[in-house]
Amino acid sequence: MKPSTRHLVLTACLLGVFFVIPALLAPWLAPHDPLEVDLKGALEPLGGGYPLGRDDQGADILSRLLYGARISLLVGVGSVAVSAVLGVALGMISGYLGGWVDMLIMRLVDVFMAFPGLLLAIALVAVLGPGLSNVVLALTALGWTGFARLARGQVLGVMEKDYIRAARGLGVGPLRLMGRHILPNIMAPVVVQASFAVASAILAEASLSFLGLGAPPGTPSWGAMLAEGRHVLWEAPLVSLFPGLAIMGVVLGFNLLGDALNDYLDPKRRR
């Protein structure tokens, strides 16, 4: 197996085993109810029937981590899927049509990109109210611009190629040209970007939940778990340690997956 393929398979497997499968199987893998409240058992250390200990409400940290993975997976992949579809569609239209449509869409991108980092998402959730669907909406508002710029740039490059000229010469219509000839040829960088975007979206969801603007109170989101752990940092530092490690591991995993995909999909870098 080539090194680029080996890296890709390895990172994908690690993410699958430590993140995707536990998230999907959380109801069967979790030893306890993640929403359990038992103040008598609050902050119980590791061991016993609670492998990673219990939080300040007495809930099992491992079970909450497993259910939290579901939220991260859902919000991360969900928001990136919507952003990618919206961004790639608008970027392709922009690059293909050019002229005032291109100018209008790209200025809209500029305006959305003028909001640094999480600010737009924070503002949107602040007015729409907390909740996971609003978080997905806010992260989509944040994420589509990157895909639109990328897709537009790729389309401009591909449009110059002979096979597109040939297809046009044969009378292929714009929709078919975009769907059958351009889209497949711009997908590689979009897939790479999507992997990095999932990492950013997971981090953003955790940030919003940490600020109390994401998942509703009590929901076992990793960011919310960190926010709860802050108040018991002195008595029980482990309550903050595990969700922090989980966020870092998954974000690192998707960033490495992006790098591996980049090497694998780029013929010049493939070894």
Interface residues with other proteins (CB under 8 A) are 107-108, 110-112, 114-119, 122-124, 126-129, 199, 203, 206-207, 210-213, 223, 226-227, 229-230, 233-234, 237, 240, 243-244, 247-249, 251-252, 255-256
Tokens found for residue 43: 């902050």
Tokens found for residue 7: 């890296």
For residue 227, the minimal CB distance to other proteins (Å) is: 8
For residue 143, the minimal CB distance to other proteins (Å) is: 14
Measured distance CA(95)–CA(102) in Å, rounded: 6
Closer by beta carbon to other proteins, 23 or else 121:
121
For residue 7, the minimal CB distance to other proteins (Å) is: 13
For residue 4, the minimal CB distance to other proteins (Å) is: 17
Closer by beta carbon to other proteins, 26 or else 125:
125
b/e for 159-190, b at 16 or more Cβ within 10 A? eeeeebeebeeeeeeeeebbeebbbeebebbb
Closer by beta carbon to other proteins, 186 or else 206:
206
Phi, psi of 172 (to 5 degrees): -70, 130
Integer-rounded Cα radius of gyration of the chain: 22
Single-letter amino acid code for the residue at 92: M
For residue 212, the minimal CB distance to other proteins (Å) is: 8
Single-letter amino acid code for the residue at 90: L
Closer by beta carbon to other proteins, 165 or else 230:
230
Phi, psi of 50 (to 5 degrees): -120, 90
For residue 155, the minimal CB distance to other proteins (Å) is: 22
Closer by beta carbon to other proteins, 49 or else 218:
218
Measured distance CA(40)–CA(53) in Å, rounded: 13
Closer by beta carbon to other proteins, 58 or else 244:
244
